[in-house]
Amino acid sequence: MRGLVSGATRAVLAHEARLSLRGVADMAGPKTAMRPWRIAGVLAVVGTIIFGVSHLLLMTAGQLDPADPRVQITLTINLAFLFILMISAALDSAAYALYARGDYDLMFSAPLAPQTVLLVRALNVFGFTLAKAGLYGAPMLILLCVQRGAHWLAGLPLILALALSATAIAIGLAMGMVRLIGIRSTRVAAQVAAALAGLLVLVMVQWEAIFGPGPKDALVADYIANPQSLGWQLATLPARAMTGDGVALGA
């Protein structure tokens, strides 16, 4: 904890944030007087699309009663897909941040503890994962809060917790894969995993159109028959937390 609040950690973290922002800005083209306007325009278009799609999905979602078993199962499936997406995104980021940047000689020659550098790299991976997860989940939660009740804001700390867990898993996977197959193969595997995760997002959105209502109906029936079983209690814990269950959110 002391490492998180030390001046050296804050300084290196600020440096990493500036590098990340510069990289995002460079995607908008050369540095000219028009670049801030191009960035603002892209953000406005992306934000409009995300909120528009989220609104369309909510229009077809019904009442979304938190006590409805079908809602609980749907949220559980969607959160599982989102968690897989987080892990795949964090895996590529972790492989790059921990192994592929090639600046450890410079960083370790500075008057900084190696633990500080590695801590900041891990926080960088977490920030990237949280930003990507928030891009998918936060607009929907904000609209749910406005349209269906403030209890849906419990999903925001849930996304934070999922991003922390995904970062820890991804860093462990990256370290193990680099030892087994090397950094280049690890980055290729991470990019393939990210592509497959993107496909899973499409599957998530079109779940019933692809598989029909049968699989979900079977899950709902089993959940209704055994709502207090340990398996279902653990599986639906994130979904119950997202719908404002204080005990589940604390857990």
Question: What are the residue boundaries of the structural domains of the chain, listed by start?
Answer: 2-250
Closest C-alpha to 6, from 113, 124, 158:
113
Supply φ then ψ for residue 44, to 5 degrees: -65, -45
Mean pLDDT of the 186-194 span: 79
DSSP code of residue 9: H
State the average pLDDT for the chain. Answer: 75
Closest C-alpha to 93, from 171, 16, 27, 11:
171
What is the share, in percent, of the chain residues with pLDDT greater than 70?
76
Mean pLDDT of the 112-138 span: 79
- Range of 28-37, 90-99, 163-172, 180-189 with top mean pLDDT: 163-172
Question: Residue 120: what residue type?
Answer: V
> Where does the pLDDT of residue 1 fall: very low under 50, low under 70, confident under 90, or very high at 90 and above?
very low
106: its two tokens: 């410079």
Q: 157-179 pLDDT, tens per residue?
A: 888 888 899 899 988 888 888 88
Contact 19, 101 (CB under 8 A): no
